[in-house]
């Protein structure tokens, strides 16, 4: 994810509203104590997620891929008064950390954590989604997209993370076209050609593909 100019990245973050003190602590603890901290959404992307939520005022949000809970807290910032966010992750080793930060944020009644395989849990959630954030195992992006799209309300959004794949979706940033990169290229094209949505790929951090259901 280090293919963007670090000075431009720093400038963008310096001109973005700061993360809260709680999010800052979660950010720091993740980098100090959790493997693969690059998976954290972080300051700039977190503010983008919060902004989408604040614009939409969603009643129902689905997040596929919780990690340490940073993005869930951001997505919950704009929830409607009766809003609820469902977040799914396969890693139960981070459960205590995630629940702890949800509790500190006072969102234990607004965020419901599900542990297990997303493909098995998603069909059990009988909801109409206003906003979906896909940030889990990348090989399953297309599966999750197709599973949730029929249940996204017209005008609702699906956001998918890491779609620039550390720049490797562009030939000059890769040494070879490996299977993972090809799968990301195929997914991006799938969404781009889908007549059910309007889409824009935002070059923020590692890329966020935004699809709005028609």
CA distance 92 to 115: 6
Which DSSP state fits 128?
-
Angle at the Cα of 110 from the Cα atoms of 104 and 114, rounded to 5 degrees: 95
Tokens of 107: 């969102």
Break the chain into its structural domains and give their ranges.
6-213
Q: What is the pLDDT of residue 210?
A: 98
Q: What is the pLDDT of residue 36?
A: 87
User: For the chain, what is the mean pLDDT?
Assistant: 95
Report percent pLDDT > 70 for the chain. Answer: 99
At 86-128, the pLDDT tens digits run: 999 999 999 999 999 999 999 999 999 999 999 999 999 999 9
Using DSSP bridges, classify how beta strands 152-161 and 129-134 pair: parallel, antiparallel or unpaired. Answer: parallel
Which of 153-190 are b and which e, b meaning 16 or more Cβ less than 10 Å from the residue's Cβ?
A: eeebbbbbbbbbbbbbbeeeeeeeeeeebebbbebbee
For the chain, the first-to-last Cα distance in angstroms comes to: 31
Contact 62, 125 (CB under 8 A): yes
Q: What is the pLDDT of residue 66?
A: 97
Residue whose tokens read 């104590």: 33
CA distance 171 to 176: 8
For residue 175, what pLDDT band results from cuts at 50, 70 and 90?
A: confident
Question: pTM of the prediction?
Answer: 0.95
User: With 70 as the cut, is the pLDDT of residue 32 above it?
Assistant: yes
Mean per-residue pLDDT, 130-159:
98
User: With 80 as the cut, is the pLDDT of residue 1 above it?
Assistant: no
Q: What is the pLDDT of residue 2?
A: 67
CA distance 49 to 162: 14
CATH class of 6-213: alpha beta
Beta strands in the chain (DSSP E): 60-64, 84-89, 111-115, 129-134, 152-161, 197-202, 208-213
Q: How far is CA 80 from CA 19, 75, 104, 106, 210, in A?
A: 21, 11, 20, 15, 21
Of the given ranges (34-38, 48-52, 57-61, 124-128), which has the lowest mean pLDDT?
Answer: 34-38
Mean per-residue pLDDT, 15-28:
96
């Amino acid at each position: 994810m280090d293919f963007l100019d670090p000075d431009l990245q720093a400038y963008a973050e310096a001109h973005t509203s700061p993360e809260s003190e709680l999010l800052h602590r979660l950010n720091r603890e993740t980098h100090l104590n959790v493997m693969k901290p690059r998976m954290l959404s972080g300051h700039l992307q977190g503010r983008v997620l919060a902004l989408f939520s604040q614009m939409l005022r969603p009643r129902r949000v689905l997040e596929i891929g919780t990690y340490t809970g940073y993005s869930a807290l951001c997505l919950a910032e704009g929830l409607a008064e009766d809003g609820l966010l469902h977040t799914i992750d396969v890693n139960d080793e981070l459960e205590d950390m995630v629940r702890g930060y949800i509790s500190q944020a006072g969102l234990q009644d607004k965020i419901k954590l599900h542990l297990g395989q997303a493909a098995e849990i998603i069909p059990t959630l009988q909801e109409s989604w206003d906003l979906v954030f896909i940030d889990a195992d990348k090989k399953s992006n297309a599966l999750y997209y197709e599973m949730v799209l029929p249940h996204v309300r017209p005008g609702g959004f699906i956001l998918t993370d890491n779609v620039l794949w550390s720049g490797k979706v562009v030939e000059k940033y890769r040494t070879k076209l490996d299977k993972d990169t090809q799968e990301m290229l195929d997914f991006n094209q799938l969404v781009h050609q889908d007549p059910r949505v309007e889409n824009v790929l935002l070059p923020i951090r590692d890329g966020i593909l935004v699809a709005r259901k028609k």
